Structure 1
Amino acid sequence: MEGPKVSYRCNVRQYFNEEMLTYKEATTLSSFDDALEELKLLKENGKYTFVLIPEGEVVDPGDRGYIGRHRSAFLRSSKDLASLVSKISGVMREIFAAEKVIAKAWNTAVGAVHQQADKDSMRALQSQPNGYEITFTLLNPQPSHVRASWNIQEATKRYLSPLLSALHDYTNIKVKSQYLHSTNIGVRPKVDQVGGYALNIDQLPHIINPIEAFLGSHVSNNPNLNFILYIPLRDQSPLFIYNQNGEKVASNAFLSPRWGGFLVHNVRVEENASLPVDVQIDERPVMQVFAAQLRLLLGVSPLHHGLAVEEAPAGNAVITDWELDLWLRSHCLENLASSVATLNSLAQLLEKIGNIVINDDIGREVERAVEQIQISHTALSQGQLRDAYLSSRQAKQFSEKAFFDPSLLELLYFPEDQKFAIYIPLFLPIGIPVVMSVLQSLKYLRKKNKQKME
């Protein structure tokens, strides 16, 4: 299947007076980027600005260039137009549009076979029209020794609300929290060389299963992402996670693809301390780790472009504006590819099983899906990224609703070749006496006709 085609439209202009005023007042490229965003001259998804700055200025981007947190790139102006155009093209295609990323998203959605393992696509959740659920769990196996508490509601508001607000118009994310006591990870750590305890990389997959049954993530039909803060047992503390090279993991955490994250939080308990020890969790380093893991699980992965350009970190925003555009673009293509594949599967199913009756409700869902696919295509071609994504999300909902309609599922397990296996045991015992009676009647009639002729 042919991949997505990307086209660009560009124009060149002089600066506006408001932009020049902010430029003169800026002391750093970051502050200049934020000031341009406040002007609200360009806030549409999928539209970007390249600002060319002369060499030697206060906010000189240098030879490398600078990618802001919003939708602007800052490059040093040059008389070598060919080199400048090449750099602009590289930033546009490799970072803002990320053609390789969206091509990968399309190929993954249509079922193309990758030449090599793709960690990013295997790690991130697929696009979900109904949204996601996030559960933060404080796992304390020894509440009799450590009485831990955290203000997860305030921490979520402070450190994750920018990300949740950015995605609010495009997906529904519900956040929950819970305490889980007297439940251990079920893995025996090994003693390390410095007197602590170690969890090796081969032990990490066995940590999830013993605790998953207690997390309650099965109560929802939506995908659930679990983020666990684990306080080790007193006789297994301090506990550290080691990577495949035998080195300590700096974050003391690991990520489970499409499931969530796990963070070990060591608590120091003195020998003669009165038990239980009250511990107030410092949420800031914890949420920094969980926010980084959440980015990866939602598909906001670092770009491997190889360009010598500086990128502004997302900071407290968790996700930059151009990363949000990339997320919308790749998930839009994923939704469209999934919708088309679902409708094609439905058509093939109808050709294979001819006795399926399509009722009016299914027909309307198919028509709505096709309509939303066409609307999304049109919006994409016009650069209306937000509208394109919302239409693609509806297309996926309508196509899946049509394919999984209960009236179709009833007939999927009753094909033509199984009718004989069902009906023969019912009618064969009745049919044999009937056939024998018919044969006896025919013999009698023939014999009677023969006697009359004689």
Structure 2
Amino acid sequence: MNPPVLNGNNERQGIKYVPHYQLTFSLMNEDIKDIQPNWDYQYIHSQFNKQLLHLLKNVSTFTVATQIHHISPLAVEPQTKKEGDVLTRYLTPTQLPQFVNSADWNIASAVLTEPDIHFLLYLPSSPLTIQHGNKEVSRSFSIPKWGGVYIAETPKSEEFTLTSEELEPAIKQFLKQFKELLDISEIRTTFDKYRLRVEQPYYTTLTGFEMDQYLLRRSMENIFDTASTLNSLITLVNKIKNMVILQKIQTDTQTSLNHLNEALKLLNEGKIQEGFQNTKQALTLAEKSFFDPSMVGLMYFPTEHKYAVYAPLFAPIVLTLVRVSIKTINKWRLARKAKTQ
């Protein structure tokens, strides 16, 4: 059966497009007293690169990180059932949102400037599965805009290394979840006349159709984000009067518009790869212009705020001038009054 998704509906669960992502693979051991594991993380990296990453190198770049957590207790208490002489544990779909124990599992990435996609391989100290209704059982689920989880078989020995063969089921699920997180639709073609269905296996590489659909979707997102960013830039300029726009910002903005127009032209001609690259450049330049230090400074420190800053500095001088002026006027009045008498 298909692994569950936490939101349980058809909403897109993909993450926002950026030129660079970090993939973090975490081996989560429930209790080090029962298991002391290791894994062939290089095999995971090579499989991801072979199946997907090398095909996406012109779209985004990826950094891969791995980690092992030897003590990873669950935040929820699994339910239990007896199968023969074996007592097994299981989680229900309602418990899955609390599966990732953020309070005790320190799996956050130190890289804060780019999206981090997590893949957790969980090693339970005793058999653990996900129970759906009657007898439907699965071992994996997706977390929208975050990553995926795979619950492995309970190891038979305390000290061991997960081999490439043992990692294969988890890798297949991670690849499927990765495609979902990138909003890469699986290709499914149905021939109603002959009742034939051709479906691309979810764990294999990308097809040309999937890549084109992915690039078109990302291109539309980039076009929308570019237009939104440039519109915000125009609003900012109109709001703050007498703003000095640096020449480099004007150049980048104009170049962004040129790339945007070129992208629309190429996409209309069916040149998807070239069109996407232009939307990528357009968005990069638009964000560069909007977040330029000179623009950000004016955004948070507009002209009217200068009066509030300089007022305390000029206040003593102004007060002194007022006092001197009052004394001078009073002396002038007294002198004038003395003359009239």
* Structure 2 length-normalised TM: 0.84
| Alignment match, 1:228 | 120
Q: CA 1:315–1:125 in 2, change beyond 3 Å: closer, same or farther? A: closer
| Superposition deviation, residue 153 in structure 1 | 1.9
Whether the aligned pair in 2 keeps the contact of 1:240 and 1:249 (CA below 8 Å) is yes
Bigger drift between 253-262 and 406-415 goes to: 406-415
8 Å contact kept, 1:162–1:318: yes
Q: Aligned in 2, Cα 1:431/1:155: closer, same or farther, shift over 3 Å? A: closer
Task: Summarize deviations over 1:198-248 as a string: whole Å, max 9, x none.
Answer: 223333222324378622523252211110100013xxx2111234x4764
CA separation of 1:211 and 1:217: change in aligned 2, threshold 3 A: farther
Output the CA distance in 2 between the equivalents of 1:212 and 1:313: 39
Q: Is the 8 A contact 1:356 1:408 kept in 2?
A: no
Contact 2:26 2:66 in 1 (8 A): yes
Counterpart in the other structure of 2:3: none
Residue 214 (1) aligns with residue 106 (2): yes
Q: Label 1:315 to 1:227 Cα distance change in 2 as closer, same or farther (>3 A).
A: closer
Are 1:191 and 2:75 an aligned pair? no
Matched residue, 2:309: 422
Deviations 1:80-114 (A, max 9, x none): xxxxxxxxxxxxxxxxxxxxxxxxxxxxxxxxxxx
- Whether 1:388 aligns to 2:275 is yes
- Whether 1:138 aligns to 2:22 is no
Decide whether aligned partners of structure 1 residues 438 and 299 sit closer, same or farther in structure 2, where only a CA change above 3 A counts.
same
Instruction: Write the distance in 2 (CA, Å) between the matches of 1:311 and 1:305.
Output: 5
**RMSD between superposed Cα atoms in Å:** 2.9
Deviations 1:395-444 (A, max 9, x none): 11111111111222223222455445434444334423321321332343
TM-aligned CA deviation for residue 181 of structure 1: 1.5
Once the two structures are superposed, the pairs formed by residues 361-440 of structure 1 within 5 Å of their partners are 361-416=248-303, 418-440=305-327
Partner in structure 2 of residue 325 of structure 1: 212
The answer to whether the 8 Å contact 2:189/2:199 transfers is: no
Q: Matches of 2:11 and 2:207 in 1, distance apart?
A: 18
Aligned to 1:165: 54
Does the 8 Å contact 2:259/2:278 carry over to 1? yes
In structure 2, the partner of 1:238 is 127
1:22-33 alignment, distance < 5 Å: none
SS at match of 1:219: coil
Partners of 1:139 and 1:179 within 8 A in 2: yes
- Confirm or deny: 8 A CA contact 1:164 1:173 kept in the other structure: yes
Q: Where does residue 287 of structure 1 map in the other structure? A: 171
In 1, the alpha carbon distance for the partners of 2:77 and 2:266 equals: 55
Name the residue aligned to 1:337.
224
Secondary structure class of the residue paired with 2:110: helix
Q: Classify 1:305/1:429 alpha carbon distance in 2 versus 1 (closer, same or farther; 3 Å).
A: farther
Q: Which residue of 1 aligns with 2:154?
A: 267
| 2:174 alignment partner, SS class | helix
Corresponding residue for residue 30 of structure 1: none
- 1:145 aligned counterpart, secondary structure: coil
3-state SS, counterpart of residue 196 of structure 1: strand
Matched, 1:296 2:180: yes
In structure 1, C-alpha distance between the alignment counterparts of 2:219 and 2:74, rounded to whole Å: 38
For structure 2, the residue ranges without an aligned partner over 5 or more in a row are 1-7
More strand by share: 2
Verify the 8 A CA contact 1:260 1:293 in the aligned structure 2.
Answer: yes
Structure 1 gap ranges (5+): 1-116, 270-274
